[in-house]
Amino acid sequence: MKLTTALGVIAVAGSLFAGSAQAVDFTGAGASFPAPVYQSWGAKFKEKTGATLNYQSIGSGGGQNQIINRTVDFGASDATVPGEKLAANNLLQFPTVIGSVVATVNLDGVTTNQLKLTGPVLADIYLGKITKWNDKAIADLNPGVTLPSNAIVPVYRSDSSGTTAIFTSYLSAVSPDWKSKVGSATSVQWPTGAGAKGNEGVTGTVKNTKGGIGYVEFIYAAANKLVVTQLQNKAGKFVTPEVAGFQAAAASADWKGAKDFAASMIDAPAPEAWPIVSPTYILLPKNPTNVEASREVMKFFEWAYTKEGADIAEGLHYIPLPAAVVEQVKAAFKAEVKGPDGKPVL
């Protein structure tokens, strides 16, 4: 499904790469949630410009730490960084695409989109209160589905993770018990289960664990043909993870009222909305020491916001940003990222 018309993606400007005397390589690190699209964008951008992006998928916490320490040219984080921390480290935070988190299971006889779960039941699984797949709480949601008596093996991110921040924000929104006992953060004290590193690690662990359940960015489930579940959304409807539902959630975001672009789409009220949808973010120094690399980073993301970049993102099941938000980001590049001489870098 193409979303470029509905979201008003901006056409590529012929002058975008004008004035580039030579290719400038640049580095980034952080979230695994958007890693597939960043790597795909990087390959196409190199074809067009010769500039190489070296992006390391190390988790959002790692991305935040590396950009604060200035060991990369940009950091990537699914979790938003508080305004005071951005100010203290002289960082600009801006969104790139919108993605979705899904629940994936490994159960004999259960096919993709067959199993229904609610937010409170999902929270109780991760709280260790529901321990068998044929528990009444799950069985009552799934009449006609033969559920095995396997023990449930919850799989979670062992690293500091923006995907975890998104998932636990959702659990906190739908389960007061989860909110009071565990809460939401890039790292939490999981009451039960097995840890794995990265979206890649959770994907592999669930795929190889009978009775496993995990949470991953949708592209990882789609690419690895994992069995995903339905979830009940805020409107009370059981929905399957698909682009129309992601778009419905994305359309609910209040970008105008969002400081530092921190717009929430968790548990959106739209009838068709998938309940676990969120933007993913880049952290860029406002006072870069490597001005050329910082300029290349901004050129890279300006290109990524064009129709060509949006088409790549959509092919990987991400949602491009609305055109108005793209314009806000581009204005922030020019107004806030400055070289040692105080002049705009871009």
Instruction: Report the pLDDT averaged over residues 123-141.
Output: 98
Instruction: Report the pLDDT averaged over residues 160-166.
Output: 91
Say what the pLDDT of residue 13 is. Answer: 40
Specify the DSSP class assigned to residue 9: P
Instruction: Specify if 260 maps to a domain.
Output: no
Residue 296 sits in which domain range? 4-98+278-336
Please tell me the total count of domains within the chain.
2
Specify the DSSP class assigned to residue 332: H
Instruction: Spell out the residues 6+ positions from residue 27 whose beta carbon is closer than 8 angstroms to its own.
Output: 53, 54, 55, 56, 72, 73, 74, 293
Overall pTM > 0.75 = yes
Please determine, for residue 132, whether its predicted confidence score (pLDDT) is greater than 60: yes
Say what the pLDDT of residue 123 is. Answer: 98
C-alpha dihedral sign at 23, 25, 30, 34: positive
Express each pLDDT in 317-332 by its tens digit. Answer: 899 999 999 999 999 9
Q: What percent of the chain has pLDDT over 70?
A: 94
- Boundary (domain end) residue, out of 221, 254, 287: 254
Say what the pLDDT of residue 12 is. Answer: 41
Residues 124 and 159 in one domain: yes
Residues 161 and 302 in one domain: no
Radius of gyration of the chain (CA): 20
Instruction: Spell out the residues 6+ positions from residue 88 whose beta carbon is closer than 8 angstroms to its own.
Output: none
Q: Are the CB atoms for 293 and 53 separated by under 8 Å?
A: no
Structure tokens at 305: 């916001």
Residues 218 and 312 in one domain: no
Instruction: Specify if 272 maps to a domain.
Output: no
Residues 94 and 108 in one domain: no
Residues 92 and 139 in one domain: no
Instruction: Spell out the residues 6+ positions from residue 236 whose beta carbon is closer than 8 angstroms to its own.
Output: none
In this predicted model, which residue has the larger pLDDT, 168 or 10?
168
Instruction: Report the pLDDT averaged over residues 154-161.
Output: 94
CATH for 319: 3.40.190.10
3-state secondary structure of 193: coil
Structure tokens at 341: 């001489």
- Boundary (domain end) residue, out of 196, 222, 254: 254
Dist. CA 284–CA 109, nearest whole Å: 47
Instruction: Spell out the residues 6+ positions from residue 28 whose beta carbon is closer than 8 angstroms to its own.
Output: 38, 53, 54, 55, 56, 63, 72, 73, 74, 75, 76, 282, 297
Instruction: Specify if 261 maps to a domain.
Output: no
Instruction: Specify if 323 maps to a domain.
Output: yes
Instruction: Specify if 234 maps to a domain.
Output: yes
In this structure, the strands spanning 74-77 and 277-285 are: antiparallel
Residues 170 and 148 in one domain: yes
Say what the pLDDT of residue 187 is. Answer: 94
Q: What percent of the chain has pLDDT over 90?
A: 87
Residues 53 and 152 in one domain: no
Instruction: Specify if 166 maps to a domain.
Output: yes
Dist. CA 317–CA 227, nearest whole Å: 16
Say what the pLDDT of residue 17 is. Answer: 52
Identity (one letter) of the amino acid at 214? G
3-state secondary structure of 128: coil
Helical (H) or strand (E) element with 280: strand 277-285
Say what the pLDDT of residue 158 is. Answer: 95
Express each pLDDT in 202-256 by its tens digit. Answer: 999 999 999 999 999 998 999 999 999 999 999 999 999 998 999 999 988 888 8
Residues 291 and 174 in one domain: no
Identity (one letter) of the amino acid at 86? L
Residues 290 and 148 in one domain: no
Please determine, for residue 199, whether its predicted confidence score (pLDDT) is greater than 80: yes
Express each pLDDT in 49-93 by its tens digit. Answer: 999 999 999 989 999 999 999 999 999 999 899 999 999 999 999
Residues 45 and 163 in one domain: no
Instruction: Report the pLDDT averaged over residues 175-183.
Output: 98
Q: Are the CB atoms for 280 and 76 separated by under 8 Å?
A: yes
Q: Are the CB atoms for 326 and 10 separated by under 8 Å?
A: yes
50, 135, 155, 215, 337 from 296: Cα distances, Å: 11, 53, 38, 33, 12
Instruction: Specify if 54 maps to a domain.
Output: yes
Residues 117 and 70 in one domain: no
Instruction: Specify if 118 maps to a domain.
Output: yes
Residues 240 and 311 in one domain: no
